[in-house]
Structure 1
């Protein structure tokens, strides 16, 4: 987490649209036959949803790593 904060402070993040493209690329690289495919894709989709929501000013309450809190 500290690395993410530091990179953000240094302006090293992606623009939101580019970040969504990266998430889509990571999803495309997942092996549909892999044992963790559904788990990984769901988490990546949630990251993409968070990026989209922040970009559009929509905040999703109670959506932690394990689902709703």
Structure 2
């Protein structure tokens, strides 16, 4: 799986800054919290992305603004 975008914006060219703020692992879920700085405006946003874990496989993430 390749995870390189949030809300259709690519990490490489859709934001001025992307940083991993927190990573938490549970038995059936991986949670990643990102701090994102938009190309337009000056607002920093936080997105929580949850990946369901099934054995050695990760499902596609479900990301929500915090």
TM-score, normalised to structure 2's length? 0.28
Q: Tell which has more relative contact order, 1 or 2 (C-alpha 8 A, sep 6+).
A: 1
The structure that is helix-richer by fraction is 1
> How does the TM-score come out when normalised to structure 1?
0.27
Which has the larger strand fraction? 2
